[in-house]
């Protein structure tokens, strides 16, 4: 009897699933978007029950497309974008909406932690800054602002943890995802620090059990089988961070390997075995967490800009009704139409610069109050300029972190591998190539993170002896080399991009105070 494996990934704006065979062929693939809820400034939420509904629909779809019997699926693994949080009660029902990684509401709790626990103590323990609003910070916000809801919480889970709970009944998080609980998570010790939990008043029982990514944490229950179409008893792994899943899918498994995604959030990551996470000057720290493979000894540093591909989605949804209508009538991608307009614009967008901080910014500036700025707008600028300038802005935001990683001396294996989301755009890939001044390639198989999850499921169940198949199956296409003249031009604009931010960063806080006054 043939063996098959299922992977499911939850990104910031949608979920994907795939079924593969033991030769790495994708037999079934499905994708669904889900809506954001931004009810108040700084808030970004999803409907958590939609996560489960989508899981059931995606699994049914993949099984039908693969034309296999559910009993032949040997294992399942799930990943999700982080930080995220789904609070559930003792009946495993969600409490309130789910937090996604663009939520930035807990500023008061961050300031309290800085004053009462200390930034240095948290940084030394977790390997990460406190500003990223991890799950423990959001739990403090819940306790203060919605005490009745807080009292109902049985477990605080990640998105993938919620799905594995629904599949198996077991509340677990993997070592990679645990970093995104923050504050009290000991990155090197792989545990929650009980002293800090006690100091901040968080009951350890609210937190899930920790497990290695490849650990089998349970089996699909009868109830989950009835909902999803999977066979009861199907093995479920602990799962992984979605960026790690993308890395595995792209064959990025060796220290020094580097990959970038232009999904809803834009990021890149470098795999390493360094246990000192000071890759940048004080105050400009990166995002660090355990890598899926050999998670006790291998880590990944993954700088991130909060609105990557989401920035182009924003331009499409809010200002591109014509392109959306053409897509509806003729089937031509609205994104392709925007790309065509941007391609007619020269590097530097004829002097148009955008700060792409539509919902605050993460690395390296860590500014929760930052917002988008369009600088240099003139009557000669059209939609194509705006689209290209936004692509360049995301490239600048990523380069801002990349140059710090390079300066730290962290070993990097080139080319830079581009994988998911907006990387499908040849123009955007060339912009990244020229801004970074490094060679790049594109992953041929665009299945992305769920493919990496399926490989993880194969390792967890013993179908694969190790992750070597990920490197074996990876294929890269569309190699690009940087254009020196374009890079020099971009560096001039990058310098001005940084200068504009320095000029207005104090005004972002003033804007927030005035805006909040009239909410």
Query: Which residues, 6+ apart, have CB-to-CB distance to 51 below 8 Å?
Result: 10, 15, 34, 86, 98, 159, 162, 163
Q: Nearest 5°: phi and psi at 220?
A: -65, 125
Question: If 0-12 CB within 10 Å is exposed, 13-18 middle and 19+ buried, where does residue 515 land?
Answer: exposed
Q: What are the pLDDT digits (tens) for 291-302?
A: 999 998 999 999
User: How many helices and strands, by DSSP H and E, does the chain display?
Assistant: 18, 25
The residues, any chain, with a CB within 8 Å of residue 513's CB and separated by 6 or more, are none
Best CA proximity match to 438, nearest among 477, 400, 412 = 412
Tell me how far CA of residue 388 lies from CA of 318, 376, 487, 496, in angstroms: 16, 14, 15, 17
| Measured distance CA(15)–CA(11) in Å, rounded | 6
pLDDT of residue 13: 86
Q: What is the pLDDT of residues 458-498, one digit of tens each?
A: 999 999 999 999 999 999 999 999 999 999 999 999 999 99
Which pLDDT value is given to residue 240?
98
What pLDDT shows up at residue 235?
98
Closest listed residue to residue 122, CA positions, set 186, 190, 194, 183: 183
Cα separation, 428 vs 321, in Å, equals: 22
Q: What element of type H or E holds 489?
A: helix 484-517
Task: Return the structure tokens found at 294.
Answer: 């050999």
Please tell me the predicted confidence (pLDDT) of residue 505. Answer: 96
Instruction: Note the maximum CA span of the chain.
Output: 66
Give the model's pLDDT for residue 281: 64
The confidence band for 517, taking pLDDT boundaries of 50, 70 and 90, is confident
Domain 4-243 identical in fold to domain 251-444+483-519: yes
Task: Give the pLDDT of residue 102.
Answer: 86
**Paired tokens of 92:** 């495993």
Report whether CATH 3.30.420.40 matches the domain 4-243: yes
Q: Band the pLDDT of 420: cuts 50, 70, 90.
A: confident
Q: Find the DSSP H helices in 146-288.
A: 147-150, 159-168, 175-178, 194-200, 222-228, 242-249
Quote the CA–CA distance of 141 and 135 in Å, as a whole number. Answer: 10
Q: Are 488 and 435 in contact (CB under 8 A)?
A: no
pLDDT, greater one: 264 or 425: 425
What does the alpha-carbon distance between residue 180 and residue 83 come to, in Å, rounded to a whole number?
5
Q: Is the backbone of residue 381 left (phi > 0), alpha (psi -120 to 50) or beta?
A: beta
Residues 220 and 228: beta-carbon distance below 8 Å: yes
Using one digit for the tens of pLDDT, what is the confidence trace for 196-243? 999 999 999 999 999 999 999 999 999 999 999 999 999 999 999 999
Q: How confident is the model at residue 1 (pLDDT cuts 50, 70, 90)?
A: low
The percent of residues above 90 in pLDDT, for the chain, comes to 89
Query: CA nearest 277: which of 244, 303, 251?
Result: 303
Examine the pLDDT at 176 and tell me if it is beyond 90: yes
299-301 vs 266-272, strand pairing mode: antiparallel
Domain boundaries, the chain: 4-243, 251-444+483-519
- Of 156, 108, 111, 217, nearest to 456 by C-alpha is 217
Q: Under a CB-based contact definition with an 8 Å cutoff, are residues 485 and 430 in contact?
A: no
Residues 6+ apart with CB under 8 A from 186: 125, 126, 192, 193
Pick one of 3.20.20.10, 3.30.450.20, 3.30.420.40, 3.40.50.720 as the CATH number of 251-444+483-519.
Answer: 3.30.420.40
The residue to which tokens 């005490």 are assigned:
147
Contact at 8 Å (CB) between 182 and 235?
Answer: no
Distance (Å, whole) CA 82 – CA 134: 8
Q: What is residue 12's predicted lDDT score, i.e. its pLDDT?
A: 85
Sequence-ordered alpha helix ranges (H) in 255-382: 309-319, 321-330, 334-343
Give the integer Cα–Cα distance in Å for 277 and 333: 41
Q: What is the dihedral of CA 362, 366, 367, 371, to 10 degrees?
A: -30
pLDDT of residue 402: 96
Question: Which tokens in the block code for residue 253?
Answer: 């498994």
User: If you average pLDDT over residues 148-169, what whole number do you get?
Assistant: 98
Q: Is 348 helix (H, G, I), strand (E, B) or coil?
A: coil
């Amino acid at each position: 009897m043939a063996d098959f494996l299922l992977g499911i990934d939850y990104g910031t704006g949608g979920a994907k699933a795939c079924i593969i065979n033991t030769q790495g062929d994708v037999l079934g693939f499905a994708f669904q978007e889900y809506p954001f809820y931004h009810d108040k400034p700084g808030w970004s939420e999803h409907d958590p029950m939609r996560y489960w509904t989508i899981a059931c629909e995606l699994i049914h779809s993949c099984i039908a497309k693969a034309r296999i019997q559910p009993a032949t699926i040997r294992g399942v693994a799930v990943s999700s974008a982080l930080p995220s949080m789904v609070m559930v009660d003792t009946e495993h029902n969600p409490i309130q909406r789910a937090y996604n990684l663009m939520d930035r509401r807990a500023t008061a709790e961050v300031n309290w932690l800085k004053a009462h626990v200390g930034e240095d103590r948290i940084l030394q323990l977790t390997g990460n800054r406190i500003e990223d609003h991890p799950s423990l910070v959001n739990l403090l916000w819940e306790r203060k602002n919605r005490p009745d809801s807080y009292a109902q919480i049985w477990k605080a889970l990640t998105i993938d943890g919620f799905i594995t709970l629904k599949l198996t009944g077991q509340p677990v998080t993997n070592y990679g995802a645990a970093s995104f609980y923050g504050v009290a998570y000991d990155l090197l010790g792989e545990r929650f620090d009980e002293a800090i939990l006690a100091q901040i008043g968080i009951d350890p029982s609210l937190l899930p059990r920790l497990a290695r990514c490849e650990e089998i944490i349970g089996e699909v229950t009868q109830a989950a089988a009835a909902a999803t179409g999977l066979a009861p008893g199907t093995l479920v792994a602990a799962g992984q961070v979605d960026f790690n899943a993308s890395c595995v899918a792209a064959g990025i498994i060796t220290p020094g390997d580097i990959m970038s995604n232009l999904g809803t959030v834009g990021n890149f990551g470098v795999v390493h075995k360094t246990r000192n996470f000071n890759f940048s000057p004080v105050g400009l720290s990166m995002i660090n967490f355990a890598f899926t493979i050999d998670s006790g000894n291998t880590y990944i540093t993954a700088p991130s800009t909060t609105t990557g591909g989401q920035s182009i989605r924003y331009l499409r949804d809010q200002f591109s009704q014509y392109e959306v209508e053409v897509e509806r009538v003729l089937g031509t991608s609205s994104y392709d139409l925007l790309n065509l307009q941007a391609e007619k614009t020269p590097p530097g967008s004829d002097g148009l610069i955008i700060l792409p901080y539509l919902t605050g910014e993460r690395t390296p500036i860590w500014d929760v109050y930052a917002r988008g700025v369009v600088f240099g707008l003139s009557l000669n600028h059209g939609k194509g300029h705006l689209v290209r300038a936004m692509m360049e802005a995301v490239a600048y935001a990523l380069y801002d972190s990349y140059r710090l990683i390079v300066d730290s001396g962290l070993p990097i294996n080139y080319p830079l591998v581009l994988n998911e989301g907006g990387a499908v755009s040849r123009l955007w890939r060339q912009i990244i190539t020229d801004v970074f001044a490094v060679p790049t390639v594109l992953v041929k198989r665009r299945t992305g993170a769920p493919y990496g999850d399926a490989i993880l499921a194969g390792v967890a169940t013993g179908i694969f002896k190790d992750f070597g198949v990920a490197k074996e199956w990876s294929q890269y296409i569309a190699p690009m080399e940087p254009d020196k003249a374009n890079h020099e031009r971009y560096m001039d604009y990058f310098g001005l991009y940084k200068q504009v931010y320095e000029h207005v960063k104090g005004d972002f806080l003033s804007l927030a105070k005035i805006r909040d006054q009239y909410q």
